[in-house]
Amino acid sequence: MAQATIQDWTESQVLLKYDEHRDVKYRVYRNGTSTFQEICDVDDTPIHTLEIPDGMTLDKSSYEVLLRYVLLDVVAA
């Protein structure tokens, strides 16, 4: 199935904690019936791809918040 872009690559500086931040880029897309948020370093190194549950429609600012929580979880792991 073809991918459909919901939000094209967007660069973001994400505040983690204690004045730490990480420069990343992310995109949101649908593949079939599933929606994903793909996160990479600005040099295109993959960090994480999150499948967003069905029925969870978000606006752009909500994807930014989700991005921070995913990064905090991945960095802590």
Q: How many domains does the chain have?
A: 1
pLDDT reported for residue 67: 82
pLDDT at 16 over 60: yes
For residue 43, pLDDT beyond 90: yes
pLDDT at 77: 53
Span 26-53, average pLDDT: 91
pLDDT in tens, 29-42: 999 888 899 999 99
Q: Check: CB of residue 33 under 8 Å from CB of residue 46.
A: no
Average pLDDT over residues 28-56: 89
Task: Give the pLDDT of residue 41.
Answer: 92
Helix (H) / strand (E) element for 69: namely helix 60-76
Residues in the chain: 77
The domain containing residue 29 runs over which residues? 3-76
